[in-house]
Structure 1
Amino acid sequence: MSQVATPEGMALELDSVSFAYPRRPVLQEVSFTVAAGAFCVLLGPNGAGKTTLFSLITRLFLCRSGSIRIFGHDLGREGREALGRLGVVFQQPTLDLDLSVDQNLRYYGALQGHPDRIMGTRIREALCDADLAERAGEKVRHLSGGQRRRLELARALLNDPRLLLADEPTVGLDIQSRRDIIVRVREGCGSRGVGVLWATHLVDEVEPHDQLVVLHQGRVVRQGIASAILAETGSKTVHQAYSLLTGGGPKS
Protein backbone atom coordinates (compact mmCIF):
# COMPACT_ATOMS: atom_id res chain seq x y z
CA MET A 1 0.00 0.00 0.00
CA SER A 2 1.39 3.39 -0.98
CA GLN A 3 1.48 6.12 1.66
CA VAL A 4 2.56 9.73 1.81
CA ALA A 5 5.14 10.14 4.58
CA THR A 6 5.62 13.46 6.33
CA PRO A 7 7.49 14.45 9.49
CA GLU A 8 4.17 15.31 11.16
CA GLY A 9 2.85 11.76 10.77
CA MET A 10 -0.77 10.94 10.13
CA ALA A 11 -3.67 13.37 10.25
CA LEU A 12 -6.28 10.60 10.19
CA GLU A 13 -6.09 6.89 10.95
CA LEU A 14 -9.01 4.51 10.60
CA ASP A 15 -8.53 0.94 11.78
CA SER A 16 -11.16 -1.73 11.04
CA VAL A 17 -14.10 0.67 11.25
CA SER A 18 -17.47 -1.02 10.77
CA PHE A 19 -20.99 0.34 11.10
CA ALA A 20 -24.50 -0.97 10.52
CA TYR A 21 -28.00 0.38 10.63
CA PRO A 22 -30.68 -2.05 11.85
CA ARG A 23 -30.50 -5.07 9.53
CA ARG A 24 -28.21 -3.25 7.07
CA PRO A 25 -24.40 -3.16 7.22
CA VAL A 26 -22.94 0.05 5.78
CA LEU A 27 -19.20 -0.04 6.47
CA GLN A 28 -17.13 -3.18 6.80
CA GLU A 29 -13.58 -3.21 8.22
CA VAL A 30 -12.62 0.17 6.73
CA SER A 31 -8.95 0.97 7.29
CA PHE A 32 -6.87 3.74 5.75
CA THR A 33 -4.76 6.73 6.71
CA VAL A 34 -4.45 10.34 5.55
CA ALA A 35 -1.00 11.86 5.93
CA ALA A 36 -0.62 15.31 7.44
CA GLY A 37 -0.79 17.86 4.62
CA ALA A 38 -1.95 15.30 2.03
CA PHE A 39 -4.93 15.59 -0.31
CA CYS A 40 -6.82 12.29 -0.10
CA VAL A 41 -9.79 11.53 -2.33
CA LEU A 42 -12.40 9.11 -0.98
CA LEU A 43 -13.95 7.91 -4.22
CA GLY A 44 -17.15 5.90 -4.39
CA PRO A 45 -20.69 6.02 -5.78
CA ASN A 46 -23.67 7.32 -3.86
CA GLY A 47 -24.52 4.73 -1.22
CA ALA A 48 -20.95 3.48 -0.80
CA GLY A 49 -20.84 4.68 2.81
CA LYS A 50 -18.89 7.94 2.43
CA THR A 51 -21.34 10.12 4.38
CA THR A 52 -21.73 7.50 7.12
CA LEU A 53 -17.95 7.40 7.46
CA PHE A 54 -17.84 11.20 7.78
CA SER A 55 -20.56 11.00 10.45
CA LEU A 56 -18.33 8.63 12.41
CA ILE A 57 -15.22 10.80 12.03
CA THR A 58 -17.12 13.90 13.19
CA ARG A 59 -18.75 11.90 15.99
CA LEU A 60 -22.30 12.49 14.83
CA PHE A 61 -22.43 8.69 15.03
CA LEU A 62 -20.52 6.72 17.66
CA CYS A 63 -17.82 4.39 16.39
CA ARG A 64 -18.49 1.12 18.21
CA SER A 65 -16.34 -1.14 16.03
CA GLY A 66 -12.76 -0.23 15.15
CA SER A 67 -10.89 2.96 16.00
CA ILE A 68 -10.47 6.48 14.62
CA ARG A 69 -7.51 8.71 15.45
CA ILE A 70 -7.01 12.34 14.47
CA PHE A 71 -3.38 13.41 14.82
CA GLY A 72 -2.87 10.56 17.25
CA HIS A 73 -5.87 11.39 19.44
CA ASP A 74 -8.35 8.54 19.81
CA LEU A 75 -11.80 9.86 18.95
CA GLY A 76 -13.51 7.72 21.54
CA ARG A 77 -11.27 8.67 24.48
CA GLU A 78 -9.99 12.12 23.46
CA GLY A 79 -12.90 13.56 21.53
CA ARG A 80 -12.27 17.21 22.33
CA GLU A 81 -8.60 17.08 21.34
CA ALA A 82 -9.40 15.15 18.16
CA LEU A 83 -12.36 17.23 16.98
CA GLY A 84 -10.57 20.48 17.78
CA ARG A 85 -8.30 19.81 14.81
CA LEU A 86 -11.14 19.37 12.30
CA GLY A 87 -12.81 21.62 9.76
CA VAL A 88 -15.89 20.14 8.06
CA VAL A 89 -18.00 20.80 4.99
CA PHE A 90 -21.04 18.53 5.10
CA GLN A 91 -22.86 17.24 2.03
CA GLN A 92 -26.03 19.16 2.90
CA PRO A 93 -25.65 22.97 3.08
CA THR A 94 -25.66 24.36 6.62
CA LEU A 95 -25.56 28.13 6.05
CA ASP A 96 -28.30 30.41 7.38
CA LEU A 97 -29.77 31.93 4.23
CA ASP A 98 -31.26 34.92 6.04
CA LEU A 99 -27.99 36.00 7.65
CA SER A 100 -25.37 37.90 5.72
CA VAL A 101 -22.10 36.36 4.57
CA ASP A 102 -20.27 38.15 7.37
CA GLN A 103 -22.88 37.20 10.00
CA ASN A 104 -22.64 33.51 9.12
CA LEU A 105 -18.92 33.56 9.78
CA ARG A 106 -19.21 35.64 12.94
CA TYR A 107 -21.84 33.28 14.33
CA TYR A 108 -19.54 30.33 13.70
CA GLY A 109 -16.65 32.14 15.35
CA ALA A 110 -18.79 32.88 18.41
CA LEU A 111 -19.72 29.20 18.70
CA GLN A 112 -16.00 28.42 18.68
CA GLY A 113 -15.48 30.86 21.54
CA HIS A 114 -13.29 33.32 19.65
CA PRO A 115 -13.36 37.04 20.60
CA ASP A 116 -15.04 39.22 18.00
CA ARG A 117 -11.91 41.35 17.57
CA ILE A 118 -9.94 38.28 16.50
CA MET A 119 -12.71 37.01 14.25
CA GLY A 120 -12.89 40.32 12.39
CA THR A 121 -9.38 39.92 11.00
CA ARG A 122 -9.82 36.22 10.24
CA ILE A 123 -13.12 36.79 8.49
CA ARG A 124 -11.73 39.54 6.26
CA GLU A 125 -8.86 37.29 5.24
CA ALA A 126 -11.16 34.31 4.68
CA LEU A 127 -13.55 36.30 2.50
CA CYS A 128 -10.68 37.66 0.43
CA ASP A 129 -9.35 34.13 -0.09
CA ALA A 130 -12.83 32.98 -1.12
CA ASP A 131 -13.28 36.01 -3.43
CA LEU A 132 -16.36 37.05 -1.43
CA ALA A 133 -15.13 40.22 0.26
CA GLU A 134 -17.46 42.42 -1.79
CA ARG A 135 -20.46 40.25 -0.81
CA ALA A 136 -19.84 40.38 2.96
CA GLY A 137 -22.99 42.38 3.73
CA GLU A 138 -25.34 40.44 1.44
CA LYS A 139 -27.70 37.72 2.59
CA VAL A 140 -26.48 34.23 1.73
CA ARG A 141 -29.68 33.47 -0.20
CA HIS A 142 -28.49 35.93 -2.87
CA LEU A 143 -25.29 33.98 -3.54
CA SER A 144 -24.90 31.42 -6.30
CA GLY A 145 -24.44 27.74 -5.46
CA GLY A 146 -20.70 27.95 -6.07
CA GLN A 147 -20.36 31.05 -3.90
CA ARG A 148 -22.24 29.36 -1.06
CA ARG A 149 -19.91 26.39 -1.21
CA ARG A 150 -16.89 28.71 -1.17
CA LEU A 151 -18.36 30.35 1.91
CA GLU A 152 -18.81 26.99 3.64
CA LEU A 153 -15.20 26.11 2.87
CA ALA A 154 -14.05 29.48 4.20
CA ARG A 155 -16.05 28.84 7.37
CA ALA A 156 -14.56 25.37 7.78
CA LEU A 157 -11.04 26.84 7.60
CA LEU A 158 -11.79 29.79 9.89
CA ASN A 159 -10.57 27.92 12.97
CA ASP A 160 -7.22 26.98 11.36
CA PRO A 161 -7.91 23.22 11.34
CA ARG A 162 -5.17 20.70 10.62
CA LEU A 163 -7.57 18.36 8.79
CA LEU A 164 -10.42 19.33 6.45
CA LEU A 165 -13.28 16.91 5.73
CA ALA A 166 -15.33 17.73 2.64
CA ASP A 167 -18.30 15.48 1.82
CA GLU A 168 -19.36 15.79 -1.83
CA PRO A 169 -18.71 19.56 -1.71
CA THR A 170 -19.24 20.10 -5.45
CA VAL A 171 -22.54 18.25 -5.90
CA GLY A 172 -25.01 20.21 -8.02
CA LEU A 173 -22.48 22.76 -9.23
CA ASP A 174 -21.58 23.51 -12.83
CA ILE A 175 -18.22 22.35 -14.20
CA GLN A 176 -16.49 25.72 -13.84
CA SER A 177 -17.68 26.19 -10.26
CA ARG A 178 -16.49 22.68 -9.39
CA ARG A 179 -13.07 23.32 -10.87
CA ASP A 180 -12.78 26.67 -9.11
CA ILE A 181 -13.56 25.16 -5.70
CA ILE A 182 -11.17 22.23 -6.14
CA VAL A 183 -8.33 24.53 -7.20
CA ARG A 184 -8.97 26.83 -4.23
CA VAL A 185 -8.96 23.96 -1.76
CA ARG A 186 -5.85 22.35 -3.21
CA GLU A 187 -3.91 25.61 -3.24
CA GLY A 188 -5.24 27.01 0.05
CA CYS A 189 -4.90 23.84 2.09
CA GLY A 190 -1.60 22.95 0.45
CA SER A 191 -0.06 26.29 1.37
CA ARG A 192 -1.20 25.88 4.98
CA GLY A 193 -0.20 22.23 5.30
CA VAL A 194 -3.80 21.20 5.98
CA GLY A 195 -4.66 17.56 5.31
CA VAL A 196 -7.82 17.02 3.24
CA LEU A 197 -10.21 14.07 3.01
CA TRP A 198 -12.31 14.86 -0.06
CA ALA A 199 -15.29 12.55 -0.63
CA THR A 200 -16.70 12.44 -4.15
CA HIS A 201 -18.31 10.19 -6.74
CA LEU A 202 -16.77 12.20 -9.60
CA VAL A 203 -13.61 10.67 -11.05
CA ASP A 204 -12.50 13.88 -12.75
CA GLU A 205 -11.79 15.37 -9.31
CA VAL A 206 -8.87 12.98 -8.80
CA GLU A 207 -5.33 14.12 -9.68
CA PRO A 208 -2.46 11.65 -10.34
CA HIS A 209 -0.52 12.67 -7.20
CA ASP A 210 -3.51 12.42 -4.84
CA GLN A 211 -3.91 9.80 -2.19
CA LEU A 212 -6.86 7.73 -3.39
CA VAL A 213 -9.16 5.47 -1.38
CA VAL A 214 -11.75 3.58 -3.43
CA LEU A 215 -14.83 2.71 -1.36
CA HIS A 216 -17.32 0.25 -2.81
CA GLN A 217 -20.28 -1.30 -1.00
CA GLY A 218 -18.86 -0.24 2.33
CA ARG A 219 -15.40 -1.72 1.78
CA VAL A 220 -12.05 -0.24 0.79
CA VAL A 221 -11.17 -2.06 -2.42
CA ARG A 222 -7.93 -0.20 -3.17
CA GLN A 223 -5.86 2.63 -1.71
CA GLY A 224 -2.61 4.35 -2.56
CA ILE A 225 -1.33 7.12 -4.82
CA ALA A 226 -3.70 7.53 -7.76
CA SER A 227 -0.99 7.19 -10.40
CA ALA A 228 0.25 3.99 -8.73
CA ILE A 229 -3.26 2.52 -8.72
CA LEU A 230 -3.56 3.23 -12.43
CA ALA A 231 -0.25 1.46 -13.04
CA GLU A 232 -1.20 -1.51 -10.85
CA THR A 233 -4.50 -1.99 -12.68
CA GLY A 234 -3.07 -1.30 -16.14
CA SER A 235 -5.49 1.60 -16.56
CA LYS A 236 -5.16 4.82 -18.50
CA THR A 237 -7.83 6.71 -16.53
CA VAL A 238 -9.26 6.76 -13.02
CA HIS A 239 -12.64 5.82 -14.47
CA GLN A 240 -11.15 2.73 -16.08
CA ALA A 241 -9.34 1.74 -12.89
CA TYR A 242 -12.51 2.16 -10.85
CA SER A 243 -14.46 0.01 -13.27
CA LEU A 244 -11.86 -2.75 -13.04
CA LEU A 245 -11.86 -2.63 -9.24
CA THR A 246 -15.61 -2.57 -8.74
CA GLY A 247 -17.25 -3.85 -11.87
CA GLY A 248 -18.78 -0.44 -12.59
CA GLY A 249 -17.78 3.19 -12.39
CA PRO A 250 -18.90 6.48 -10.92
CA LYS A 251 -19.59 9.49 -13.08
CA SER A 252 -16.81 11.18 -15.00
Structure 2
Amino acid sequence: MQKQAPKDESARIPVLSVKNVSYWYGSKRALDDVSFDVYPGKVTALLGPNGAGKTTLFSLITRLFDSPTGRIEIDGRSAAEWGFKALGPLGVVFQQPTLDLDLTVKQNLRYFASLRGLKRKEADERMLRALKALDMEERIAEKVRSLNGGHRRRVEIARALLHSPKLLLLDEPTIGLDVPTRTAIVRHIHGLARSENIGVLWATHLFDEVEPDDDLIVIDRGRVVARGEAKDVVAETGAKDLGGAFRLLIGGDAEEDVAA
Protein backbone atom coordinates (compact mmCIF):
# COMPACT_ATOMS: atom_id res chain seq x y z
CA MET A 1 0.00 0.00 0.00
CA GLN A 2 1.58 3.28 -1.08
CA LYS A 3 0.25 6.75 -0.51
CA GLN A 4 0.69 9.33 -3.25
CA ALA A 5 2.53 12.55 -2.40
CA PRO A 6 0.33 15.63 -1.87
CA LYS A 7 -0.14 17.74 -5.00
CA ASP A 8 1.52 20.81 -3.49
CA GLU A 9 4.65 18.76 -2.79
CA SER A 10 5.70 19.17 -6.42
CA ALA A 11 6.54 22.80 -5.67
CA ARG A 12 8.99 21.76 -2.97
CA ILE A 13 12.62 20.83 -3.61
CA PRO A 14 13.86 17.70 -1.82
CA VAL A 15 17.18 17.79 0.01
CA LEU A 16 17.49 14.03 -0.56
CA SER A 17 16.10 12.12 -3.51
CA VAL A 18 16.36 8.33 -3.76
CA LYS A 19 15.16 6.91 -7.06
CA ASN A 20 14.79 3.23 -8.02
CA VAL A 21 17.64 2.01 -5.82
CA SER A 22 18.26 -1.72 -5.44
CA TYR A 23 21.12 -3.55 -3.74
CA TRP A 24 22.25 -7.16 -3.39
CA TYR A 25 24.52 -9.03 -1.02
CA GLY A 26 25.52 -11.82 -3.35
CA SER A 27 22.25 -13.44 -4.40
CA LYS A 28 20.26 -11.85 -1.57
CA ARG A 29 18.39 -8.68 -2.45
CA ALA A 30 18.60 -6.17 0.43
CA LEU A 31 16.79 -3.28 -1.33
CA ASP A 32 14.24 -3.60 -4.11
CA ASP A 33 13.52 -0.52 -6.28
CA VAL A 34 13.38 1.95 -3.37
CA SER A 35 12.28 5.51 -4.11
CA PHE A 36 11.44 8.45 -1.80
CA ASP A 37 12.26 12.11 -1.09
CA VAL A 38 13.23 13.98 2.08
CA TYR A 39 12.24 17.65 2.35
CA PRO A 40 13.75 20.56 4.31
CA GLY A 41 12.13 21.38 7.64
CA LYS A 42 10.64 17.93 8.17
CA VAL A 43 11.56 14.66 9.83
CA THR A 44 11.14 11.68 7.54
CA ALA A 45 10.90 8.48 9.56
CA LEU A 46 12.20 5.32 7.94
CA LEU A 47 10.32 2.66 9.89
CA GLY A 48 10.99 -1.03 9.48
CA PRO A 49 11.81 -4.21 11.37
CA ASN A 50 15.38 -5.33 11.94
CA GLY A 51 16.86 -6.51 8.67
CA ALA A 52 14.47 -4.48 6.52
CA GLY A 53 17.29 -2.67 4.69
CA LYS A 54 17.50 0.59 6.64
CA THR A 55 21.22 0.45 7.37
CA THR A 56 22.02 -0.70 3.82
CA LEU A 57 20.15 2.33 2.52
CA PHE A 58 22.13 4.65 4.80
CA SER A 59 25.38 3.05 3.60
CA LEU A 60 24.41 3.84 0.01
CA ILE A 61 23.43 7.44 0.77
CA THR A 62 26.73 8.07 2.58
CA ARG A 63 28.77 6.29 -0.13
CA LEU A 64 30.06 3.56 2.15
CA PHE A 65 28.59 1.33 -0.57
CA ASP A 66 28.14 2.12 -4.25
CA SER A 67 24.63 1.74 -5.62
CA PRO A 68 24.60 -0.51 -8.71
CA THR A 69 21.18 0.75 -9.77
CA GLY A 70 19.08 3.90 -9.45
CA ARG A 71 20.12 7.39 -8.43
CA ILE A 72 20.72 9.20 -5.15
CA GLU A 73 20.90 13.00 -5.00
CA ILE A 74 21.80 15.16 -2.01
CA ASP A 75 20.71 18.77 -2.45
CA GLY A 76 20.43 18.15 -6.20
CA ARG A 77 23.83 16.50 -6.61
CA SER A 78 24.48 12.87 -7.40
CA ALA A 79 27.40 11.35 -5.46
CA ALA A 80 28.03 9.04 -8.41
CA GLU A 81 28.87 12.13 -10.49
CA TRP A 82 30.18 14.58 -7.91
CA GLY A 83 31.96 12.10 -5.65
CA PHE A 84 32.44 13.11 -2.03
CA LYS A 85 31.74 16.76 -2.87
CA ALA A 86 28.08 15.75 -3.00
CA LEU A 87 28.26 14.79 0.68
CA GLY A 88 29.08 18.33 1.83
CA PRO A 89 25.49 19.19 2.91
CA LEU A 90 25.23 15.92 4.87
CA GLY A 91 25.46 15.29 8.61
CA VAL A 92 25.38 11.69 9.89
CA VAL A 93 24.92 9.84 13.17
CA PHE A 94 25.61 6.17 12.52
CA GLN A 95 24.14 3.32 14.54
CA GLN A 96 27.60 2.37 15.83
CA PRO A 97 29.39 4.99 17.99
CA THR A 98 32.30 6.71 16.24
CA LEU A 99 33.72 9.06 18.88
CA ASP A 100 37.31 8.77 20.11
CA LEU A 101 36.85 7.64 23.71
CA ASP A 102 40.22 8.97 24.90
CA LEU A 103 39.65 12.50 23.66
CA THR A 104 37.52 15.10 25.40
CA VAL A 105 34.22 16.25 23.97
CA LYS A 106 35.89 19.46 22.82
CA GLN A 107 38.78 17.62 21.17
CA ASN A 108 36.41 15.31 19.31
CA LEU A 109 34.39 18.20 17.99
CA ARG A 110 37.40 20.34 17.11
CA TYR A 111 38.92 17.46 15.15
CA PHE A 112 35.73 17.00 13.12
CA ALA A 113 35.45 20.75 12.56
CA SER A 114 38.97 20.84 11.17
CA LEU A 115 38.08 18.06 8.73
CA ARG A 116 35.20 20.23 7.57
CA GLY A 117 37.50 23.21 7.07
CA LEU A 118 36.07 25.32 9.90
CA LYS A 119 38.38 27.86 11.52
CA ARG A 120 39.04 27.47 15.24
CA LYS A 121 37.01 30.47 16.42
CA GLU A 122 34.01 29.64 14.29
CA ALA A 123 34.24 25.97 15.24
CA ASP A 124 34.30 26.77 18.96
CA GLU A 125 31.29 29.07 18.63
CA ARG A 126 29.29 26.44 16.78
CA MET A 127 30.41 23.75 19.21
CA LEU A 128 29.22 25.66 22.25
CA ARG A 129 25.92 26.49 20.59
CA ALA A 130 25.26 22.87 19.61
CA LEU A 131 26.26 21.48 23.00
CA LYS A 132 24.16 24.05 24.86
CA ALA A 133 21.08 23.09 22.83
CA LEU A 134 21.66 19.47 23.91
CA ASP A 135 22.33 20.30 27.58
CA MET A 136 25.94 19.17 27.20
CA GLU A 137 27.83 22.45 27.49
CA GLU A 138 29.13 21.70 30.99
CA ARG A 139 30.67 18.41 29.83
CA ILE A 140 32.86 19.91 27.12
CA ALA A 141 36.13 19.17 28.96
CA GLU A 142 35.23 15.60 29.94
CA LYS A 143 36.69 12.60 28.16
CA VAL A 144 34.11 10.75 26.10
CA ARG A 145 34.98 7.53 27.93
CA SER A 146 33.49 8.98 31.12
CA LEU A 147 30.13 9.79 29.49
CA ASN A 148 27.10 7.51 29.53
CA GLY A 149 25.47 6.30 26.32
CA GLY A 150 22.93 9.09 26.15
CA HIS A 151 25.54 11.81 26.56
CA ARG A 152 27.77 10.22 23.93
CA ARG A 153 24.85 10.24 21.49
CA ARG A 154 24.26 13.92 22.16
CA VAL A 155 27.90 14.65 21.37
CA GLU A 156 27.56 12.75 18.09
CA ILE A 157 24.47 14.76 17.19
CA ALA A 158 26.30 18.00 18.03
CA ARG A 159 29.22 16.88 15.86
CA ALA A 160 26.91 16.10 12.92
CA LEU A 161 25.49 19.64 13.11
CA LEU A 162 28.74 21.62 13.34
CA HIS A 163 28.95 22.40 9.62
CA SER A 164 25.27 23.42 9.36
CA PRO A 165 24.11 20.51 7.17
CA LYS A 166 21.01 20.66 5.00
CA LEU A 167 20.39 16.94 5.52
CA LEU A 168 20.79 14.97 8.75
CA LEU A 169 20.84 11.16 8.71
CA LEU A 170 20.16 9.34 11.97
CA ASP A 171 20.51 5.55 11.92
CA GLU A 172 18.75 4.13 15.01
CA PRO A 173 20.36 6.87 17.16
CA THR A 174 18.54 5.98 20.39
CA ILE A 175 19.32 2.26 20.61
CA GLY A 176 20.12 1.27 24.19
CA LEU A 177 19.07 4.60 25.71
CA ASP A 178 16.53 5.00 28.50
CA VAL A 179 13.08 6.42 27.72
CA PRO A 180 13.65 9.97 29.11
CA THR A 181 16.86 10.31 27.07
CA ARG A 182 15.17 8.97 23.94
CA THR A 183 12.27 11.35 24.41
CA ALA A 184 14.58 14.34 24.83
CA ILE A 185 16.55 13.49 21.67
CA VAL A 186 13.37 12.94 19.62
CA ARG A 187 11.97 16.29 20.79
CA HIS A 188 15.25 18.10 20.08
CA ILE A 189 15.62 16.73 16.54
CA HIS A 190 12.04 17.57 15.59
CA GLY A 191 12.46 21.10 16.90
CA LEU A 192 15.78 21.44 15.11
CA ALA A 193 14.31 20.35 11.76
CA ARG A 194 11.65 23.06 12.01
CA SER A 195 13.81 25.88 13.38
CA GLU A 196 16.86 25.31 11.13
CA ASN A 197 14.96 24.03 8.06
CA ILE A 198 16.99 20.82 8.03
CA GLY A 199 15.75 17.71 6.28
CA VAL A 200 16.05 14.71 8.62
CA LEU A 201 15.98 11.03 7.69
CA TRP A 202 15.51 9.06 10.92
CA ALA A 203 15.79 5.26 10.67
CA THR A 204 14.00 3.57 13.55
CA HIS A 205 12.02 0.53 14.63
CA LEU A 206 10.33 2.37 17.51
CA PHE A 207 6.81 3.68 16.98
CA ASP A 208 7.01 6.38 19.65
CA GLU A 209 9.83 8.13 17.79
CA VAL A 210 7.46 8.96 14.93
CA GLU A 211 5.21 12.02 15.25
CA PRO A 212 1.84 12.22 13.42
CA ASP A 213 3.00 15.00 11.06
CA ASP A 214 6.28 13.29 10.16
CA ASP A 215 6.74 12.03 6.66
CA LEU A 216 6.81 8.24 6.94
CA ILE A 217 8.38 5.52 4.85
CA VAL A 218 7.59 1.95 5.88
CA ILE A 219 10.11 -0.55 4.58
CA ASP A 220 9.91 -4.34 4.80
CA ARG A 221 12.25 -6.90 3.25
CA GLY A 222 13.92 -4.16 1.25
CA ARG A 223 10.75 -2.75 -0.30
CA VAL A 224 8.79 0.42 0.45
CA VAL A 225 5.30 -0.75 1.42
CA ALA A 226 3.82 2.63 2.45
CA ARG A 227 4.68 6.31 2.46
CA GLY A 228 2.99 9.59 3.33
CA GLU A 229 2.45 11.59 6.51
CA ALA A 230 2.33 9.21 9.46
CA LYS A 231 -1.23 10.11 10.45
CA ASP A 232 -2.41 9.57 6.87
CA VAL A 233 -0.74 6.17 6.60
CA VAL A 234 -2.46 5.10 9.83
CA ALA A 235 -5.83 6.39 8.60
CA GLU A 236 -5.47 4.66 5.25
CA THR A 237 -4.91 1.26 6.89
CA GLY A 238 -7.90 1.74 9.19
CA ALA A 239 -5.73 1.00 12.22
CA LYS A 240 -6.08 2.73 15.58
CA ASP A 241 -2.40 3.65 15.86
CA LEU A 242 0.94 3.40 14.09
CA GLY A 243 1.75 0.04 15.65
CA GLY A 244 -1.47 -1.44 14.30
CA ALA A 245 -0.89 0.10 10.88
CA PHE A 246 2.62 -1.27 10.76
CA ARG A 247 1.48 -4.81 11.55
CA LEU A 248 -1.13 -4.62 8.80
CA LEU A 249 1.40 -3.31 6.29
CA ILE A 250 4.13 -5.88 6.83
CA GLY A 251 1.92 -8.81 7.86
CA GLY A 252 2.46 -11.19 10.73
CA ASP A 253 3.52 -10.26 14.25
CA ALA A 254 5.73 -7.19 14.17
CA GLU A 255 6.15 -7.03 17.94
CA GLU A 256 9.25 -9.20 17.87
CA ASP A 257 11.13 -6.61 15.81
CA VAL A 258 9.39 -3.30 16.49
CA ALA A 259 8.49 -1.72 19.82
CA ALA A 260 6.17 0.97 21.08
Normalising to structure 1: TM-score of the pair? 0.97
Match of 1:149 in 2: 153
Match of 2:88 in 1: 84
Match of 1:251 in 2: 259
Match of 2:221 in 1: 217
Q: Structure 2: how far apart are the matches of 1:2 and 1:236?
A: 22
Letter in 2 for 1:56: L
Query: Contact between 1:5 and 1:35, CA under 8 Å: does it hold in 2?
Result: no
Query: Contact between 2:92 and 2:170, CA under 8 Å: does it hold in 1?
Result: yes
Query: Contact between 1:38 and 1:195, CA under 8 Å: does it hold in 2?
Result: yes
> Would you say 1:2 and 2:10 are equivalent positions?
no
Letter in 2 for 1:82: A
Within the candidate set 88, 96, 102, 1:98 is matched to: 102
Q: Structure 2: how far apart are the matches of 1:81 and 1:227?
A: 36
Correspondence list, 1:112-191, <5 A? 112-191=116-195
**Structure 1: where are the runs of 5+ without partners?**
none
> Would you say 1:238 and 2:242 are equivalent positions?
yes
Deviations 1:127-150 (A, max 9, x none): 111111111111011111111111
Q: Structure 2: how far apart are the matches of 1:8 and 1:211?
A: 14
User: Matched residue of 2:65: which SS?
Assistant: coil
Q: Structure 2: how far apart are the matches of 1:209 and 1:29?
A: 26
Pair 81,5 (structure 1): closer, same or farther in 2 beyond 3 Å = farther
Q: Percent identity?
A: 50
Letter in 1 for 2:158: A
Within the candidate set 65, 71, 96, 1:61 is matched to: 65
C-alpha RMSD of the superposition: 1.3
Report the alpha carbon displacement of residue 7 of structure 1 after superposing the two structures with TM.
Answer: 5.9
Correspondence list, 1:190-205, <5 A? 190-205=194-209
Moved more, 52-61 or 140-149: 140-149
Letter in 2 for 1:153: I
Q: Structure 2: how far apart are the matches of 1:120 and 1:187?
A: 23
Moved more, 72-81 or 198-207: 72-81
Report the alpha carbon displacement of residue 104 of structure 1 after superposing the two structures with TM.
Answer: 0.5
User: Matched residue of 2:117: which SS?
Assistant: coil
**Structure 2: where are the runs of 5+ without partners?**
none
Deviations 1:161-199 (A, max 9, x none): 000000000000011110011111111222000000000
Deviations 1:15-67 (A, max 9, x none): 11000011211001001111122210000011101000000000010011010
Letter in 2 for 1:24: K
User: Matched residue of 2:66: which SS?
Assistant: coil
Aligned residue-pair number = 252
Letter in 2 for 1:208: P
Moved more, 88-97 or 186-195: 186-195
Moved more, 76-85 or 183-192: 76-85
Report the alpha carbon displacement of residue 245 of structure 1 after superposing the two structures with TM.
Answer: 0.5
Within the candidate set 207, 227, 234, 2:231 is matched to: 227
User: Matched residue of 1:76: which SS?
Assistant: helix
User: Matched residue of 1:30: which SS?
Assistant: strand
